């Protein structure tokens, strides 16, 4: 079939054109780092911002981050790993030499974040990944223990597999406030959610239940269980197990981060035990996000079943874009797919188009004006589809506010202020 539609000359021409275009992009973007950015490369800039995001909750320090990125060769995953691991090891050594439990705990938490960051760009089958992941989990709990943070690890039966959760009980009076249930997204970890919200929620008197499902954290790494678009299944399993040994809260709010904006919304459409839903940020259609990142000609070729040519184009683009390369590899790993076409087909199942009308809770949706993953059109589509929601509030953050990046990274106090203002209506007197 390929031979009938394309001669070798045609295929060669396509490759040359794409190579030239990609090279021009690289040439135009080369030079000094643009104003207001840590790296020109969006993926490296964004992940650096992600490390900064945890400063407020003892997960990083400004000087340590700045010194680390000085030693990183942009676009080089090994350079990225080496620099962050070196910082993590240095901070870990400092933690183990300190006698003050607070200083020691804070150092452990910073080391955790640096080990998590170090692992990020490594290939899924890189032997350094399991070691880095084990170090980040170990240092995380060492930090909580040293700081005397109360938590409970929960193991959730899930067929022949198991899921994991961490429950952070709130202070006295938390029983009068709703339980916050939180799940991460495409690449986040369950432990990271402590910095995202759990720590600040405790300061405001809330209990928080975080969990990891298929495709996430230790589940994909240790059990090789990929994502499911039917996220109500792992979510319901988590609630069922949690409520065996804990009293049912008066109210429960489900919060999803990044891809979790889809995951939590899908779960809320079927799991009626939740009273509120927070999509942080919006993600209405994962397939559309993937298509936006895929070379346009690849989608044209997909319709004509010219799959081998698609793989050539994807490989070329991945050579010039660390963001794209990471997305391709992480997608196949966490979704359990083997090819670009299979990955796209699987991602297209992650859509709220047919289920958003079943969401009947109060809904809060965040969006970023300059989100490099999710276009604002997805916010409009989601709002229009929430025809049966009890209430819908949507907040868009622009550049001037400091929250224009995906999930408002770098501005956690911004979105949290709006979140905690919104959740107050669920509290009982």
Q: 82-90 long-range CB contacts below 8 Å, 24 or more apart? A: 83/118, 84/114, 84/115, 84/117, 84/118, 85/114, 85/115, 85/118, 85/132, 87/114, 88/112, 88/114, 88/115, 88/118, 88/135, 88/139
Distance separating alpha carbons of residues 117 and 111, to the nearest angstrom: 10
- List the one residue out of 287, 337, 298, 317 whose CA is nearest residue 124: 337
Rg of the Cα trace of the chain? 22
Mean residue pLDDT across the chain: 90
In the chain, what are the domain boundaries?
1-23+291-349, 147-285+350-426
Note whether 287 and 348 are within 8 A (CB): yes
The residue whose two tokens read 């059109």 is 377
68: number of Cβ within 10 Å: 23
Task: Give the Cα separation of 98 and 103 in Å (integer).
Answer: 7
46-88, pLDDT tens digit by residue?
999 999 999 999 999 999 999 999 999 998 999 999 999 999 9
Q: What is the pLDDT of residue 4?
A: 42
The pLDDT of 29-51, averaged and rounded, is: 80
Neighbours of 293 (CB within 10 A): 15
d(CA 216, CA 125): 15
Tokens 């039917």, located at residue: 230
Residue 226 or 296, more confident? 226
Whether pLDDT at 38 is above 90: yes
CATH of 147-285+350-426 given 3.30.413.10, 3.40.50.1820, 3.40.190.10, 3.40.50.2300:
3.40.50.1820
Residue 29's pLDDT is what?
A: 40
Distances (CA, A) of 108 to 74, 147, 322: 27, 10, 29
- Top pLDDT among 318 and 228 is at 228
DSSP-derived secondary structure letter, 304: T
- pLDDT at 1 exceeding the cut of 50: no
Summarize the confidence of residues 161-182 as an average pLDDT. Answer: 97
pLDDT over 50 (residue 18): no
Residue 118, pLDDT above cutoff 70: yes
Average pLDDT for 307-314 = 82
Range 416-429 average pLDDT: 90
What pLDDT digit, counting tens, does each position of 188-220 carry? 999 999 999 999 999 999 999 999 999 999 999
The answer to whether residue 28 scores a pLDDT higher than 50 is no
- The model's confidence at residue 33, banded by pLDDT at 50, 70 and 90, is low
- Alpha-carbon distance of 221 to 224, in angstroms, equals 6
Question: pLDDT band for position 14 (50/70/90)?
Answer: very low
For residues 51, 220, 144 and 173, what is the CA-based torsion angle, rounded to 10 degrees? 100
pTM to 2 decimals?
A: 0.90
Residue 277 near residue 264 (C-beta atoms within 8 A): yes
The pLDDT value given to residue 306? 81
């Amino acid at each position: 079939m390929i031979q009938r539609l394309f001669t070798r000359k045609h295929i060669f021409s396509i490759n040359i054109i794409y190579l030239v275009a990609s090279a021009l992009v690289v040439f135009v973007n080369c030079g000094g780092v643009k104003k207001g950015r840590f790296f020109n490369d969006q993926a490296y800039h964004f992940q650096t911002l992600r490390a900064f995001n945890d400063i407020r909750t003892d997960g990083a320090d400004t000087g340590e981050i700045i010194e680390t990125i000085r030693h990183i060769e942009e676009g080089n995953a090994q350079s990225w790993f080496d620099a962050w691991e070196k910082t993590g090891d240095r901070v870990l050594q400092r933690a183990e030499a300190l006698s003050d439990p607070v200083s020691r705990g804070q150092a452990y938490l910073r080391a955790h974040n640096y080990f998590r960051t170090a692992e990020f760009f490594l290939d899924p089958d890189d032997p350094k990944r399991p070691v880095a992941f084990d170090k980040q989990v170990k240092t995380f709990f060492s930090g909580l223990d040293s700081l005397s943070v109360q938590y409970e690890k929960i193991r959730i039966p899930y067929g022949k597999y198991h899921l994991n959760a961490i429950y952070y009980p709130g202070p006295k009076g938390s029983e009068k406030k709703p339980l916050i249930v939180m799940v991460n997204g495409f690449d986040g970890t369950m432990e990271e959610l402590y910095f995202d919200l759990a720590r600040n929620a405790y300061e405001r008197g809330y209990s928080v239940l975080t969990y990891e499902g298929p495709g996430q954290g230790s589940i994909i790494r240790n059990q090789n269980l990929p994502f499911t678009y039917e996220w109500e299944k792992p979510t319901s399993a988590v609630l069922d197990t949690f409520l065996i040994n804990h009293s049912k809260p008066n109210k429960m709010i489900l919060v999803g981060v990044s891809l979790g904006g889809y995951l939590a919304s899908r779960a809320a459409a079927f799991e009626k035990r939740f009273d509120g839903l927070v999509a942080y940020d919006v993600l209405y259609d994962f397939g559309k996000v993937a298509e936006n990142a895929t070379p346009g000609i690849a989608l044209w070729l997909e319709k004509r079943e010219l799959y081998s040519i698609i793989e050539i184009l994807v490989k070329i683009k991945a050579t010039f874009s660390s963001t794209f390369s990471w997305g391709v590899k992480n997608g196949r790993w966490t979704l359990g797919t083997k090819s670009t076409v299979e990955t796209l087909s699987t991602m297209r199942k992650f859509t709220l188009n047919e289920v958003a009308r079943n969401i009947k809770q109060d809904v809060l949706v965040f969006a970023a004006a300059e989100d490099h993953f999710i276009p604002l059109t997805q916010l409009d589509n989601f709002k229009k589809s929430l025809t049966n929601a009890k209430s819908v509030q949507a907040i868009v953050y622009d550049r001037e506010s400091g929250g224009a990046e995906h999930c408002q990274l770098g501005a956690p106090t911004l979105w949290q202020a709006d979140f905690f203002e919104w959740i107050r209506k669920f509290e009982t007197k």
